[in-house]
Structure formats: structure tokens, C-alpha cells
Amino acid sequence: MNLIVFGINHKTAPVEVREKLAISEKALEENLRLLEERAPGLREKVVLSTCNRTEIYARVSDVTGGVDELKRFLCGYHEVDRAALDRAAYVLVLEDAVEHLFKVASSLDSMIVGEPQILGQVKGAYRAAKDYSATGAIMNRLFEQSFNVAKRIRTETGIAENAVSVSFAAVELAKKIFGDLEGKTALLIGAGEMIELAVKHLMAQGVETVLVANRTYDRAKELAVQFNGEAVKFDHLHEELKRCDIVISSTGAPHFVVRRDLAENVIGQRQNRPMFFIDIAVPRDIEPSVNEIDNCYLYNIDDLHQVVEANMVERAREAQRAEEIVKGEVEQFFVWLDRLEMAPTIIALRQNVEAIRKAEVEKTLNRLGALSAEDRESIDRMTQSMINKIIHHPIANLKRKAETEEGHNYLKAVRYLFGLDK
């Protein structure tokens, strides 16, 4: 029995190959059905497909045959060139396959280490396969343990605590200033992808009201609708600022949109309640000396990048701790798997040697000619005793080793040496 992963990801395949092999959530069941028909060597299977990876996790008897079936299916169904697939694909077996899944579920193999979305995607892929009855005891145990591994890593390390995107870093800084963003009001000045991402993060953290100001009022209204917010006139900024706890600006204007004198006036009207300014414009929208005003906190794009770089270093450090957790969990999985395989291995070994004993006894008795029933029984008992004594210690040692991290190697060796998988 072998566990394998066959797949491509953002490290091995360009987007034009990944998009060809991408499988939508709606198409998952059809792919599982077709794999059942065209890849019968896959005893259990789970198909995981995201924007950065398409992977098939499977239990197979024969690795080479199973991989070949998968390649034929993927090339035929997805119309992918075999040579292109061979260049981009990877095959991982047994310990490497299990370790890979644990890292994927824990976001250690993601483009952005520590991002939380991948765990939900892995759970969705497993749920779809289980609902289709494409999994069994081994895949169920493997995937359920991967979820526990991901939970352990998030609980026991700080891998997800440090922001590694500019937009999320801005939100983390805002939380440090205000402590709690519940009920706060944010003002967007201008537009742009980073502004929109930052606001999404802010709203997820409890920001209650979003105001949008843009030189083109219609554009402000469009953006306000996305966030269930309120469009305000650009010319009325000086009036609207006093309502705002958080200001995010990116206009591309050739001059400062928020000057120091305006900020001083506004903070006075707010009775010195703190204001957080995020200036992601180049050239800058907010006069740098605003940061010198009491209770005004100003961060520009370079400040945010410095936060991100520092956090990337911290995440890398936490990822090393997470790797140790994964290593231990892989060993635990194979201890469980060895226990599962121990009984059928011992039974197969006993059956194998018993078949040989019977055949040899039969040949010997036929050659000896006329023997009494007592003599025949004595020879039979003697050979049984010999066989039991010969295999007693190997079986006892095998049982002991099954409880250790070496157990899987011993099981493989026994099955190979006695030809039990033929």
C-alpha cells in the first residue's frame, strides 16, 4: 500500500499550465467520477484545486501504475500536453506525501506562508471526496489529522500573527493604536486596489462606517456601494475628517491633500481623540509633519513595507517551529498506519510460511511412501513447531517496532523480504 501526491503548484508550473488543470468546485464530483472510471488503481482519492495548485492525493497499490493513470486522465480530460505536464508535475510517496499534505493544510507551502484560506480549501476538497465515497479509513485519518496539525501550528506558533501584506499591515497597526476597531469610522480618499483591500480587512475587524471621497463623485459612489458606505464630496474633506478615526489616502495628486494645519484643526475638533493616517500614495498625499501632532499617527508606503519585511522574517522563524510540529505528526501518522497494517502483515506472513510448509511436507510424505498415520502426524507436528519457532522472534520484534518511528521501515522490509505484496 502506498500513499501518493501527484500535482502542480505555483513553484513548479506557470499560470498558463495551472489554469488548464484548475478544477472548479462544481466540477469536483465529475472529476472524482471520471477518476474512478479511468484510474481504477486509485483505491482512495481526494482532489484539491486552488488558484495556486492542483493536487490529487491517493492510496495506490502500485505507484508507477497509479501515476501513469493520473497523467493519462489529466492530459485527456484537461487537454494538457504530456511533456508540459511532466515538466511541471511532482510525485511524492509515503512520508513525503503525508508531510506535504500537513504543510499544505498548515499554509507552510503557500505563496504567502501563514495565510488562512488554504485550510478551508483543503477541508472542502476532503468533504467533496468523502461525500462521493472516494475516501476510506486511511484517507479519512490522514486528512482529519492534517486539520489537527494546522490547528496545532496556529495555536502553538505565531505563524499567522504578523501581517505580510501592505493592506493587512495597515490594519494591524490600526489595531495597535485603537486596541479595538469596533464602531470606528474610516475615510477612503481616492481609489485603488490596496485601498480596497485595506478597507476589507478593516471591516472584517469591526469598522462600522466607511466614507469615500474621490475627485470624481460618481466613482466615490461606486466604491461606497461595495462597502455599504457613504460617498462624500472631495471639496468637503475638511468637514468630514472630524468624523473619522482612520484615513486611507491614495489619490496621485501632485500636492498634499491633507496638510498639517488641517490635521491640527481636525484633532482639536475631535477633542484629541486619536486619528490614524495611512498614506499609500506616491507622491505622498499627507504632509509628513502630521505625524508630529499629538494623537495623530501617520504611516506611509515605506513604513508599511518595513513592517511587512520585519514580519516576513518573524514568520520564517515561526515556520521553522511549525516544521518541527509537522515532523512529529508525520511520525505519529505512520505509527497509526503501522498498527493498522501490522495484523494483515503478520497474517500474510503466517499464511505464506504455512503454505510452504504444507507443500514441502506433502512432497516429503509422498516420497517416503507407506507411513503410518501416527508417523505422518508426527512429521506434520514437527514441521509446524519448527515454523512457529522460526517466525516467533521476527513477529515479536515486528510488533515492538510498530510502536516506534522505525516501524514502517520494518513492515516494508518484511513484506518485501517475504514477497507478501506479490
Does a structural domain hold residue 174?
yes
Co-location of 223 and 262 in the same domain: yes
Distance CA 316, CA 232 (A): 42
pLDDT of 42: 92
Co-location of 191 and 261 in the same domain: yes
Co-location of 132 and 174 in the same domain: no
pLDDT of 3: 93
Catalytically active residues, by annotation:
51
Does a structural domain hold residue 330?
no
Q: Which string of DSSP letters, residue by residue, matches 243-285?
A: G-SEEEEE---SS-SB-HHHHHHHHHHTTT--EEEEE--SS-S
Q: How many CB atoms lie within 10 A of CB 36?
A: 14
Co-location of 13 and 146 in the same domain: yes
Does a structural domain hold residue 325?
no
Classify residue 373 by burial, with Cβ atoms within 10 Å: 0-12, 13-18, 19+.
exposed
Co-location of 379 and 407 in the same domain: yes
Specify the long-range contacts of residues 286-289, CB closer than 8 Å, at least 24 apart: 286/247, 286/249, 286/256, 286/257, 286/258, 287/256, 287/258, 287/259, 287/260, 287/263, 289/260
Co-location of 76 and 94 in the same domain: yes
User: DSSP label at 216?
Assistant: S
pLDDT of 288: 94
Co-location of 177 and 297 in the same domain: yes
pLDDT of 369: 80
Co-location of 151 and 170 in the same domain: no
The count of domains in the chain is: 3
Co-location of 150 and 191 in the same domain: no
User: Are the C-beta atoms of residues 350 and 419 closer than 8 Å to each other?
Assistant: no
Choosing from 134, 156, 178, the residue where a domain stops is 156
Structural domain including 386 reads 335-417
Does a structural domain hold residue 422?
no
Choosing from 291, 308, 325, the residue where a domain stops is 308
pLDDT of 143: 96
Nearest to 278 by CA among 261, 257, 262, 294: 257
Distance CA 107, CA 116 (A): 7
Q: What type of residue sits at position 2? A: N
CATH code, domain carrying 239? 3.40.50.720
Task: Give the pLDDT means over successive 10-residue stretches in the chain (422 positions).
Answer: 90 85 86 91 92 91 91 89 90 95 91 80 94 92 95 86 69 84 90 75 86 89 87 89 92 89 94 91 89 94 79 80 92 82 81 88 86 86 89 83 73 82 70
Co-location of 108 and 150 in the same domain: yes
Choosing from 86, 121, 156, the residue where a domain stops is 156
Does a structural domain hold residue 93?
yes
Q: In what order do the strands lie in the sheet with 2-9?
A: 42-50, 53-60, 2-9, 90-93
Does a structural domain hold residue 317?
no
Does a structural domain hold residue 141?
yes
Distance CA 60, CA 4 (A): 7
3-state secondary structure (DSSP) of residue 90: strand
Co-location of 98 and 45 in the same domain: yes
User: Are the C-beta atoms of residues 308 and 166 closer than 8 Å to each other?
Assistant: yes
pLDDT of 96: 95
Does a structural domain hold residue 367?
yes
Co-location of 11 and 144 in the same domain: yes
